Each structure stands twice: as C-alpha cells, then as structure tokens.
A and B are shown apart, each in its own frame.
Chain A
Amino acid sequence: DGGITQSPKYLFRKEGQNVTLSCEQNLNHDAMYWYRQDPGQGLRLIYYSQIVNDFQKGDIAEGYSVSREKKESFPLTVTSAQKNPTAFYLCASSIIGTGRLAADNEQFFGPGTRLTVL
C-alpha cells in the first residue's frame, strides 16, 4: 500500500536531548513537509522540501533541523534548542505538477508522532 509512515508513534525525551522523528513515503511525491500541532493552534509549518538535497524553513523552524538525502525520506530532528518541544508532529507529502507548485496540490499526511519531553 502506498502511503506515509512516521515512527515512532509516541516518543519520550529528556530535556536537553536531541531526538529524530522519521518520515518515509512511497508515493513518489516530490514535496515533503513537517508540521507541528498544539492544542487549539492548528498546524504550523516547520520545514518543507520540494526536491532532494534542498529544503526551506517554515514559520517555526527555530530549534529544528531536517535533511532530504533521499526522495522517500525527510527526517526531522528536534534539538535541545527547541524551547517547547512537546507536541504532535505531522509529516506530509504532495506531488508537484508541471509548472505548478507543491502547495497547489493536496497533501497526504502520515499518522503523526506525539513527542513528550520529560
């Protein structure tokens, strides 16, 4: 089945530790995104990538880092510099049509990772 997988589903981390969230897609999508969801806040964009080896900061990139070494994979690292890392993290992907930008198309989401900092 084609889709997006995120692992782990639940993650606990001690304050001061870096942690990496996995996101893999087998939809052959060009673009991938990371969002953070807090209660009552909707989804906020952390980073996105439209092509391998390239990515851009979203609205709340501070304290996070990403890489895009393969089309299928877009891991997110939550660093110790992120002040309030406890949240629900969602990964998404979309195709990019000829002459169009990724945001023109619908995004497909993974099941999310709930990160709790102890």
Chain B
Amino acid sequence: AQKVTQAQTEISVVEKEDVTLDCVYETRDTTYYLFWYKQPPSGELVFLIRRNSFDEQNEISGRYSWNFQKSTSSFNFTITASQVVDSAVYFCALSEAGDDKIIFGKGTRLHILP
C-alpha cells in the first residue's frame, strides 16, 4: 500500500538558515511519481516539483533543492538561505502509475523567524 511519512510536524529556523524537510514513502510499484506542494497561510496549495521514479537526479530551483534517493525511499526538500516568505506547510505526495489518486503526507509546518 502507498504511504507517505513526513516525520517533522513542525520546524522553526531563523531567517537565512538552511532547512531540510524530510519525506519517506512506501510503495510496491516500480513506477511512481513524487510531488512537493507548499501551502501558505492563504490556504491554496502550490505545486513545487514532480519527479518520476526513474529519474534520481537531484534538482535545484533557485533556493530550493530536492534529493531523491530510491535506496532509502526518501525525497527530501531543502531550502537554502531561508526567508520569512518560506513560512508555510509543505506536503510531500506520492502516486503510483496505474492509479488515479495521489496520497499526501500529513505535512510539515515551517516557521522562518526574522
């Protein structure tokens, strides 16, 4: 069965620090997709990244980077030089090929302190 675990319920860091949000997933499929979403205080989820199971290359987008490791079933998200605007709830999600649903983790609430 699919499962996404975000063990960090809440994290607080001071602005400009780097922070990593952990995501561990479970699936029996060899083909699957992983996602990260950001939910700012306004409530609307914003898509950040999608990665398929055959692409283990790490990705960097500005201050954001993602580390996908199939060996540990992890898809961690790092924010470099954090800013107050990064404060939000971040969700990791998983879908299996052949399925038509996405399973979300419970989210990590990130506080960036000025």
Contact = CB atoms under 8 A, between A and B. Distances in A.
A65 B74 CA distance: 36
Contacts of A58: 101
Contacts, number: 59
B81 interface: no
A102 B42 contact: no
A103 B47 contact: no
A66 interface: no
A109 B44 contact: yes
Contacts of A48: 100-101
Contact of B45 (A31, A56, A101, A109): A109
B89 to A, nearest CB: 9
Contacts of B33: 103-104
A63 interface: no
* Chain A residues touching B, range: 20 to 34
Interface of B is mostly: loop
Contacts of B114: none
A114 B42 CA distance: 11
B100 A102 contact: yes
Given A112-B43, A112-B44, A101 B106 contact: no
Most A-side CB within 10 Å, residue of B37, B91, B100, B105: B100
B12 interface: no
B50 interface: yes
A89 B47 CA distance: 17
A21 to B, nearest CB: 14
Interface of A: 31, 35, 40-43, 45, 48, 50, 56, 58, 88, 90, 92, 101-112, 114
